[in-house]
Amino acid sequence: MSYIARIAKSAARPALATAARRSVAPLTATRGIKKINFGGVEEVVHERADWPQERLLEYFKNDTLALIGYGSQGYGQGLNLRDNGLNVIIGVRKNGASWKAAIEDGWVPGQNLFDVSEAVQKGTIVMNLLSDAAQSETWNALKPLLTKEKTLYFSHGFSPVFKELTHVEPPTDIDVILAAPKGSGRTVRSLFKEGRGINSSYAVWNDVTGKAEEKAIALAVAIGSGYVYQTTFEREVNSDLYGERGCLMGGIHGMFLAQYEVLRENGHTPSEAFNETVEEATQSLYPLVGKYGMDYMYDACSTTARRGALDWYPIFKDALKPVFNDLYNSVKTGAETQRSLDFNSQPDYREKLEAELQTIRNMEIWQVGKEVRKLRPENN
């Protein structure tokens, strides 16, 4: 029963919205920079409005953006840069899957599609969007091409931060910057097309010209960000690896499975177990958490749901916190990086990955999900 979802017109909503506004109230708002008080901590945020298209075109008028790698991020960032009117070229292995995908998206060999080294040589800003394992594998060939006055750009702190493991040690005589979208490249693209924008972080590793930070912010907007917040390469990689293994994917998948299995073991039908675990969460409650916050959910749900959730969340938190501590430690020590490099560098990694993904596809819960989704009226 969706007893939690009795919320939409709650009288509490205006009060909560006001409270939410207070906790992220802008303190200063000058062109190009905003300091925002996030729950008592002041942080710098830049918005797309500060970098309209004319300003981007002027700023990058002498640049060639050589985007290497055309996977998820290469696709999203590359097409957004192109639609923003910037001079962008793609560099990928000739005749690989990405080469073919790029041609399908309208990139033209010899015009704005080249092999990796040719693109790097032509670029003034080299955007390294190869997979993290490939960044490590190709580094010895790439590094000598990163000559003075080029800029090196990443979308993840992974390669330079864990340089003892990846052997990616950026030259010290060029600017090295980062813009990391907080979502998949597909979302980077779809939000841009809708006139919206992904949220991204930005950081500076080397500032040789004195303009590295400004360049990182401008590029972050140019690839399709709606707003960008400041970080460091270290904080970006640690939070990103931690988050995706935790609440964003690994942790939430583990929690879905545990709840579903207990329901099934106690005689609940597959559809009931799925509806109470995944469908209600994703279709009814999580969008509201996204829109108004968890505090709003507590205020707006039934008294029965509220009492239970208030009693049980500390139990879950206490049980899970040691796991999160272990996870953060595993990220910080580089163990997660080593694991990722080892696995993703194997010649047969795609087949091995496919076997693991097939196991997930075959799980009862996700098989049931397919049938449940068909029942949504919009899918009939």
Burial of 9 (0-12, 13-18, 19+ CB in 10 A): exposed
Identity of the residue, 89 or 288, whose beta carbon is nearer to ligand NAP in the bound complex = 89
- Each residue 82-111 as x (binds ligand NAP by CB under 6 A) or -, in order, gives ----------xx--xxx-------------
Q: Which of residues 168-187 bind ligand NAP (CB under 6 A)?
A: 180-181, 184-185
DSSP codes of every residue in 190-250: HHHHTT--EEEEEEEEE-SSS-HHHHHHHHHHHTTEEEEEE--HHHHHHHHHHHHHTTTTH
197 binds ligand NAP (CB under 6 A): no
Nearest distance from residue 370's CB to ligand NAP, in Å? 24
Query: In whole angstroms, what is the distance from residue 263 CA to residue 260 CA?
Result: 5
Residue 302 counted as an annotated binding residue:
yes
Give the number of other Cβ atoms within 10 Å of residue 56's Cβ.
19
Amino acid at 207: D
231 binds ligand NAP (CB under 6 A): no
The conformation of residue 2, written as its DSSP 8-state character, comes to -
Known active-site residue 156: yes
- For ligand NAP, which residue has the nearest CB? 71
156 binds ligand NAP (CB under 6 A): yes
The conformation of residue 291, written as its DSSP 8-state character, comes to H
Amino acid at 10: S
Pairing of strands 125-128, 151-154: parallel
Identity of the residue, 87 or 98, whose beta carbon is nearer to ligand NAP in the bound complex = 98
Task: Say which residues have a Cβ less than 8 Å from residue 238's Cβ, sequence separation at least 6.
Answer: 328, 331, 332
Residue 115 counted as an annotated binding residue:
no
Nearest distance from residue 356's CB to ligand NAP, in Å? 16
Identity of the residue, 77 or 277, whose beta carbon is nearer to ligand NAP in the bound complex = 77
Residue 169 counted as an annotated binding residue:
no
Nearest to 155, CA basis, from 92, 74, 84 = 74
Identity of the residue, 158 or 256, whose beta carbon is nearer to ligand NAP in the bound complex = 158
Residue 261 counted as an annotated binding residue:
no
Task: Say which residues have a Cβ less than 8 Å from residue 5's Cβ, sequence separation at least 6.
Answer: 280, 284, 285, 288, 301
**Count of residues interacting with ligand NAP (CB under 6 A):** 26
Residue 136 counted as an annotated binding residue:
no
- Indicate which residue of 156, 167, 253, 268 is catalytic: 156
The dihedral through the CA atoms of 24, 26, 31, 32 has a sign that is negative
Identity of the residue, 6 or 339, whose beta carbon is nearer to ligand NAP in the bound complex = 339
Show the tokens assigned to 76: 């999203």
- Each residue 110-149 as x (binds ligand NAP by CB under 6 A) or -, in order, gives ------x------------xxxx-x--xx-----------
| Binding region for substrate | 302
- Catalytic residues, which ones? 156
Contact residues for ligand NAP, defined by CB under 6 A: 69-74, 92-93, 96-98, 116, 129-132, 134, 137-138, 155-156, 158, 180-181, 184-185
| Binding region | 240, 244, 276, 280, 302
